[in-house]
Structure 1
Amino acid sequence: MTQAFIQPVTLTENGVQLEPLGLEHEESLRTAAADGELWRLRVTSVPEPEHTRAYIETALRMRAEGSRFAFAVRDLSTDRIVGSTSYHDILPALQRVEIGYTWYAQSVQRTHVNTTCKLLMMRHAFETLNCRVVGWRTDNFNFASQRAIERLGAKKDGVIRGHALRRDGTIRDTVMYSMTAGEWPEAKAQLLYLLNRPR
């Protein structure tokens, strides 16, 4: 059996810790999703409370298959799990990963948490995994997500029409973004600038 492209790792910066998602996070992940009843949002993948265990089990199965590596997001100032994010569509031969399945408790949205998570994941992808490209995808109606991705310095690749089902059964268009290794140094400098500003 070949070694997985992404090995288990815990990433920490700026009071935020990304730790490999496991079944031990079930209760705390359910609590995080309840902060804002995030599963009611039409354009996200947040699990309903009763489906939290299945959500984790699916992530672990995808990890075993090599297509996804999910993290729990811990706010070290409160020692609370406040969300989840993943590497997915992992393509070792192309040295490409995507970042997604990302959601946070309402109480930490629009704080330093997302910026820190993206810094950690992009730095690990480009500087440890030596990725050539990091990608993102989002619902065409998830304008907040599109703005957040664009703030990272990612470039819009285009829209895949009629690409995926939403939780309500409607079919979404998917907006695709990417960043290359050559674009990373400037994006990293901007992320560090944003994080180092007084909050």
Structure 2
Amino acid sequence: MNQLAHPAAPIAPVTLELHGVRLEPLGPQHADGLRAAARDGELWTLRVTSVPEPEQVDAYIATALEMRPGRLAFAVVDAASGTVLGTTSYHDIVPTIARLEIGYTWYGKSHQRSHVNTTCKLLLMTHAFETLGAALLGLRTDNFNFASQAAIERLGAKKDGVLRHHALRRDGTVRDTVMYSIAAGEWPEIKAQLRYKLALHGTR
């Protein structure tokens, strides 16, 4: 019996692992590692992301925890070394219609364009569709974050549309948000494609 079918029962924290990447429920113990990941590329300087400055990481984690049960945040960890590579989340969890989204995702620059993001998406989507029983999984990004849009489209997600004047950026401007989704019936093909991409990276 899946959790999303029972609105009274929030999604339980879970640890997921594959191909040397482990997703752990985000907590204060990850703060130093998350600071180091943010410094890897000075990611907070990017206008179209919401990566915290190093001194804001503790508040960032606290906010993520306060957002439960509507958000379940994960630390992305290298399983062999324990190094924190970044973070990702389930969010906008709506059990009554078996819908949730994946977002708040960022990785240190040295781990971008590697197998890490594909592995995380495979882990989170498999858990969402096959364990939680999601009917639909959403993804969203800034209308000027073209790299993120391309990455989401490579997953096989369908573009639902654009929410205009939707969210505040760190520089005080208001962004349009590009919305994507994957329906449960589309998951088997997308899962096969993610596995194929990981095989090309040399992961089995």
TM-score of Structure 1 vs Structure 2, range by shorter chain: over 0.9
Q: Distance in 2 between matches of 1:198 and 1:100?
A: 23
1:189 matches 2:195: no
- Please state if 1:128 is matched with 2:131: yes
Give the Å deviation of 1:163: 0.5
Q: What is aligned with 1:93? A: 96
Larger RCO: 1 or 2 (CA < 8 Å, sep 6+): 2
Q: Which residue of structure 1 lines up, in the alignment, with residue 38 of structure 2? A: 33
* TM-score normalised by the chain length of structure 1: 0.96
Q: Which residue of 1 aligns with 2:118?
A: 115
Q: Is 1:141 paired with 2:132? A: no
Q: CA deviation at 1:84?
A: 0.2
TM-score of the two chains, using structure 2 as the length reference: 0.94
Matched, 1:10 2:19: no
Which residue of structure 1 lines up, in the alignment, with residue 167 of structure 2?
164
**Are 2:90 and 1:103 equivalent residues in the alignment?**
no
How many percent identity over aligned positions?
67
Instruction: Say if 2:122 and 2:194, in contact at 8 Å, map to a contact too.
Output: yes
Q: Which residue does the alignment assign to 2:4? A: none
CA shift digits 1:121-179 (9 cap, x unpaired): 00000000000000001000000000110111100000011111100000100000000
| Aligned residue type for 1:187 | I
In structure 1, the partner of 2:67 is 62
User: Would the aligned equivalents of 2:21 and 2:77 in 1 still touch at CA under 8 Å?
Assistant: yes
Runs of 5+ unmatched residues, structure 1: none
SS in 2 for 1:190: helix
Name the residue aligned to 2:79. 76
Counterpart residue type for residue 141 of structure 1: F
Please give the root-mean-square deviation of Cα atoms over the aligned residues, in Å: 1.1
2:31 counterpart of 1:23: no
Deviation at 1:2, TM superposition (A): 3.3
Q: For 1:51, which of 50, 53, 56 is the aligned residue?
A: 56
Gaps of 5+ in 2: 1-6
Write the distance in 2 (CA, Å) between the matches of 1:79 and 1:59.
21
Which digits, 9 at most, give the CA deviation of each residue in 1:45-67, with x for residues without a partner? 1111111000000000001xx11
- Asked if 1 retains the 8 angstrom alpha-carbon contact of 2:115 and 2:201, the reply is no
